[in-house]
Structure 1
Amino acid sequence: MKDQRFRIANREALIGVGLVIINFAIWFGFAYGLGSTDPENYTYVLGFPAWFFYSTMAGTVFMIALIIFVLKRYFKDVPFDDEEEKL
């Protein structure tokens, strides 16, 4: 029987890769979507260009909240003992 900890670790690793892809998509979408216009036409949020504010600042806050949610909802503690325990 395969150790259950490896199955849990693989699932959590895939979730982590998914979070990285979401983070990159948010950053890329806002940075190049809003930032691809002429700088004279930029709109500003709190003194920052909108593309920078949404891609970097708001995106970071969103990702921190998403990671906290995912950690509490989908990740679980796994014992590192050699004995296999019921998970």
Structure 2
Amino acid sequence: MDPRFKISNREALMGIGLAVLNFIWWYAFSYGLGGKPVKEYHYIWGLPAWFFYSCVAGFIVFSILVYIMVKFFFTEVPFEDVPDLENLKEEKR
């Protein structure tokens, strides 16, 4: 089996995991803080707290997490056939 498939499968699972965490974050803040009557809402920068934490803060947090994941955990893989693909991992280190 081509080692690139193993790398791409690992990176795809990491991306799916991050997307699931993003949805959990959004859902928890949206429905956790947004389930109260409007009169009981707290506001941050003129936005309801549930919206701020779920959409604004969530976007910032997960943008940083995507950057960290790509920078430190993803591997650059050539698209063309390379006979010496086993050295790909050694070059990354």
Which residues of 2 match residues 1-87 of structure 1 at below 5 A?
Answer: 2-84=1-83, 85-86=85-86, 87=88
Deviation at 1:41, TM superposition (A): 0.3
Moved over 3 A (4+): none
Root-mean-square deviation (Å): 0.7
Aligned mates of 2:80, 2:52 — CA distance in 1: 45
Matches of 1:23 and 1:83 in 2, distance apart?
36
State TM-score, norm by structure 2.
0.89
Query: Using the alignment, how far apart are the partners of 1:83 and 1:8 within structure 2?
Result: 15
Give the share of equivalent positions with the same residue, in percent.
Answer: 47
1:83 to partner: Cα distance:
2.5
Separation in structure 2 between the aligned mates of residue 46 and residue 78 of structure 1, nearest angstrom:
43
Unaligned runs of 5+ in 2: 89-93
| Letter of the 1:30 counterpart | F
* Whole-Å separation in 2 of the counterparts to 1:14 and 1:83: 24
Structure 1 unaligned spans of 5+: none
TM-score of the superposed pair, with normalisation by structure 1: 0.95
Query: How far apart are the structure 1 equivalents of 2:23 and 2:77?
Result: 29
